[in-house]
Chains A and B, each alone.
Chain A
Amino acid sequence: GQQVMQIPQYQHVQEGEDFTTYCNSSTTLSNIQWYKQRPGGHPVFLIQLVKSGEVKKQKRLTFQFGEAKKNSSLHITATQTTDVGTYFCAGRGFGNEKLTFGTGTRLTIIP
């Protein structure tokens, strides 16, 4: 079955440093979504990428979808304490109603 892996599992950064998490799927994806889960909270949708090579920005967050539609990345510039949480990618295969979540990257910020 479809598997989605994320690296790193954990990332500790000083406030102001950049952060990147990488997502890799075992199969080609129809689209990929990114979610953020604050400690003790529930996942909240951030963005969806659909096209090969697509890049989208949300303020300090940059999302990329690979040319082969099998990998994706999330980059945060100049992290802030509000960025703390776990970031999940979630991939959907073609003709598939199921969304497979990645293992997540937990970001902690050192003030």
Chain B
Amino acid sequence: NAGVTQTPKFRILKIGQSMTLQCTQDMNHNYMYWYRQDPGMGLKLIYYSVGAGITDKGEVPNGYNVSRSTTEDFPLRLELAAPSQTSVYFCASREKRDRGQSGANVLTFGAGSRLTVL
């Protein structure tokens, strides 16, 4: 099991460029999330998905788009990159647990993608 895999690990973009951060998980998890972490700060939720074909906005969705065509993949697209989007991006997933099932709804994180916009 690879867990949650993110690519690329590092990327430098120029202002106005676009790119896609890839995220794939092999744990058959229904729920997937994208967070950004600014230096010395906590994690802010960008978008999340509760299953293939379903996505929803988090706290800071502006400037980003997502899609969930398969259970495994949850790419994050940056349109017209801006310096304010310089951050470390983390993808995470968790399985869906119905009420009454024991165990924690644990998030498994990818290693992160460090993006710099100049």
Please give the residue numbers on chain A whose beta carbons come within 8 Å of chain B beta carbons, in ascending order: 1, 6, 31, 33, 35, 41-45, 47-48, 88, 90, 92, 97-104, 106
Complex CA gap A90/B109 in Å reads 14
Chain A interface main SS type: strand
A103–B42 contact, CB under 8 A?
yes
* Residues of chain A lying within 8 A (CB to CB) of residue B50: 97
CB-CB under 8 A for A44 and B109, given A33-B104, A101-B35: yes
CB-CB under 8 A for A43 and B90, given A97-B50, A98-B48, A100-B45: yes
A48–B42 contact, CB under 8 A?
no
Per the CB 8 Å criterion, the residue count for chain B at the interface is 24
* Residues of chain B lying within 8 A (CB to CB) of residue A47: 104
* Residues of chain B lying within 8 A (CB to CB) of residue A33: 104, 106-107
Closest to A5 in B: B42
Complex CA gap A102/B41 in Å reads 9
CB-CB under 8 A for A42 and B112, given A48-B104, A48-B106, A104-B41: yes
Complex CA gap A45/B93 in Å reads 12
Complex CA gap A44/B44 in Å reads 16
Complex CA gap A48/B55 in Å reads 25
CB-CB under 8 A for A88 and B110, given A45-B104, A48-B105, A97-B50: no
Instruction: Confirm or deny: B13 has a beta carbon within 8 angstroms of a beta carbon on chain A.
Output: no
In chain B between 37 and 55, which residues have their CB closer than 8 angstroms to a CB of chain A? Answer: 40-45, 48, 50
B48–A45 contact, CB under 8 A?
no
Complex CA gap A98/B44 in Å reads 11
